Structure 1
Amino acid sequence: MNKDIERKVIAILEILSNYTEPIGANTISEKLLEKGIELSDRAVRYHLKIMDERGLTKVVGKKGRLITEKGREEIKKALVADKLGFIISKIENLAYQVTLDKSTGKGTVILNLSVIPKKDLKKALNIMKDILKKGYGISEKIIIFDEEEEEISPGVFVPEKSVIIGTVCSVTIHGILIKNGIPVSAKFAGVLEVKENEPIRFLEAITYNGSTLDPLEIFIKSRMTSLSSVVKRGEGKVLATFREIPNSAREDAQNIIEMLKDIGIKGKIYLGKPNQEIFGIPVTQETSALVIVGGLNPIAGIIEANIEAENKAMSILYNYEQLQPIKEYL
């Protein structure tokens, strides 16, 4: 199969992977156009027929197609080179869409979504509360979707016997700074060592440009955090992201970060000195480092406690006003 057709097949599979219900050629054609691929309904049906024969999709009556497990595996294997840079592009696109006003606390933020068993919710919330209280998350405000089969975003449904927890993503800070005229360059996400309640150095890092997956999800799946130890003893490993801003914008950035505390964005943020390294990482000349704790730290903490969680970082845009302090759910 030539590379052009293969790219279209993968694009269709990626669209189908976002849906739990079958969809038809018309919907797929519309979603492909959003990806910059123009295919008529007829052309989509042609590709779907090929995909059916390969076992990548299956027909569900007249409703349309569903992706198969083989199709999901194909996404993971296919065209890795094409996916390089996907994460940084996603960050920039989502950050641009953040509308949260630093003064009023109204507008959209980016949420990470995590699916956990409903039976473990109370235990999970208590763990998350302690982590957020220590500042190892972006905001103590969260949202819980607990109505089974509720569609919280196109193609995103609450699974049976599960709940979805939405936590504020660190890219929200990126977006707020951009909205206020401050250029931000996202560099990497990593594992940050903490001793005596203070960050010491980055132990691990994955650059956004060099990864096809969200780095924080990789670290969580690899069990590389120790949030429980950080909360109880003030030492351990947490997730954090590393960015750079121009030195000329440093003072404005500092003022914005302080203002955000008044609207509940109180997570730990470290602004480096101009042209100086921070936590063992040098910066580009004429820039200052901006280290923001990972929004998925609370979820990493519940996974440490052996609670199953399926995470999707940088998942959806959501109105910040609809989030509630975590204590309201306990």
Structure 2
Amino acid sequence: MTSSDDPPIQRKLIEILRVIDEHEGAVGARIISDALKERGYPLGERGVRYHLRILDERGLTKGHGYAGRTITEHGRREIEEALVHDRIGFIHARLEEMIYQTDFDLEKERGLVIANITAIKKEDLDDALGILRYLSEHGMSCRIKIIEEGASDHAVAVPEGHVGIATICSATCDGILLKHGIPVNINYGGMLRFDKNQASHYTDLIAYAGTTIDPMKIFISWKTTSVLDVVETGDGLLLANVRAVPDLARDEASKILDRVVGAGITDYVNIGDPHSPVLGAPVAAGMTGISVSAGLNVIAAIQEVGIAVAVEPVATVMDYSEFEVV
């Protein structure tokens, strides 16, 4: 006898839950059966009723006589948890899509760059700008664009009573390398320890290909950065990410990234030795690791003084000319 925990049955159970959840009111076996056939699950009404009994027993659906079933809150949570597997790799794929869309020209310093968008309360804007000016005065790149509430020309809607702060995402570096013919794989987001104004090692890493949430968003939620300490004392934790380029492209990538820093796209770049870890982050054979500081460090600094931030990394692409130095 087939167990109700078998993967094929589990997939059908989840799909039935999705069908019920997509309908208003109770749904009967015939409608569910028709919907499943359209999705590639040829399950007759009798088979649907068998699966519905399992869902009822688990408390995921509720029967309403001849009218059919509705989904319970427990059932909705089951769908959300099942979708985790589907979302694995989505962050990485979206990042690569954004990287491909960039067309920043280093010579002319114009073109599309990837932008992060952060929402803060309107009443916090002056204090936030004060922090950004402080960072800028101490040598950190602070190119931003202020987005008013309700603006509809960007991917992230700024809620009422808030303003958006767009910052340049460091993944723009990868788009620039790609534009110069250098294959690049962005691998990790992490927390990078600085000692005496020098990058020392990564204390934490999250692989972009293995997460359902952007690593930068996770690390900012931890509230463990110390960007202001790095600026003031040279010691602390910054947000950064790791990518890899072929060993043969190492020298050319180094020259390009020097110019990227000059354009204010990022602040700190560390290039590892061929096929060796970069600041403790693993690198595949035949590749050179490159660590780049994240564009969200300036937002992390705002958070460090107690200002609440709602961050959307890799939110959209914007024209470089829209950003101004604070």
Interval of TM-score (by shorter of Structure 1 and Structure 2): 0.7 to 0.9
Indicate the larger mover: 224-233 or 300-309.
224-233
With structure 2 as the length reference, what TM-score do the two structures score?
A: 0.75
Residues in 2 aligned to 1:273 and 1:293: alpha-carbon distance in whole angstroms: 18
Q: 2:188 — aligned with what?
A: 188
| Equivalent position to 2:100, from 96, 102, 106 | 96
Residue pairs, 1:114-125, within 5 angstroms: 114-125=118-129
Task: Write the distance in 1 (CA, Å) between the matches of 2:219 and 2:136.
Answer: 19
Provide closer, same or farther for how the CA distance between residues 243 and 119 of structure 1 changes in structure 2, counting only shifts above 3 A.
same
Please list the CA deviations of residues 58-97 of structure 1 after superposition, one character each: whole Å capped at 9, or x if unmatched: xxxxxxxxxxxx98x7885441111111111111111001
SS in 2 for 1:157: coil
Structure with larger Rg:
2
- The whole-number CA distance in structure 2 between the counterparts of 1:247 and 1:134 is 34
The 1:240/1:261 distance shift into structure 2, 3 A limit, reads closer
Whole-angstrom distance in 2 between the partners of 1:204 and 1:9? 41
Stretches of structure 1 that go unaligned for 5 or more consecutive residues are 13-36, 38-52, 57-69
Once the two structures are TM-superposed, the CA of residue 314 in structure 1 deviates from its matched residue by: 0.2
Structure 1 segment 210-221 matched on structure 2, within 5 A:
210-221=210-221
Structure 2 residue runs without a partner (length 5+): 1-11, 23-38, 40-69
Do the aligned residues in 2 keep the contact of 1:130 with 1:231 (CA within 8 Å)?
A: no
Shift of 1:5: 6.4
User: In percent, how many aligned pairs have the same letter?
Assistant: 34
CA distance in 1, matches of 2:20, 2:292: 37
Aligned mates of 2:80, 2:305 — CA distance in 1: 28
Distance 1:221 1:151 in 2: 26
Check 1:318–1:9 CA distance in 2 against 1; reply closer, same or farther (3 A cut).
Answer: farther
Instruction: Name which of 108, 129, 136 aligns with 2:112.
Output: 108
SS at match of 1:153: coil
- Alpha-carbon distance between aligned partners in 1 of 2:94 and 2:20, rounded to the nearest angstrom: 21
Number of equivalenced pairs: 268
Structure 2 CA distance, aligned partners of 1:250 and 1:103? 20
Query: Is contact 2:225-2:237 (8 Å) kept?
Result: yes
Deviation of 1:174 after TM superposition, in Å, equals 0.9
> Which digits, 9 at most, give the CA deviation of each residue in 1:292-317, with x for residues without a partner?
11111111111111101101000011
> Could you say which residue in structure 1 is the equivalent of 2:90?
86
Q: Does 1:304 align with 2:308?
A: no
3-state secondary structure, aligned to 1:225: coil
Larger relative contact order (CA 8 Å, sep ≥ 6): 1
SS of residue in 2 equivalent to 1:166:
strand
Q: Distance in 1 between matches of 2:159 and 2:320?
A: 24
Answer yes or no: is the 8 Å Cα contact 1:244–1:287 preserved in 2.
yes
Equivalent residue of 2:273, what SS? Answer: coil
Residue 64 of structure 1 aligns with which residue?
A: none
Q: Please tell me whether the aligned partners of residues 135 and 268 of structure 1 are also in contact (alpha carbons under 8 angstroms).
A: no
Given the superposition, is the C-alpha separation of residues 9 and 247 from structure 1 closer, same or farther in structure 2, using an over 3 Å criterion? farther
SS of the aligned residue for 1:182 comes to: coil
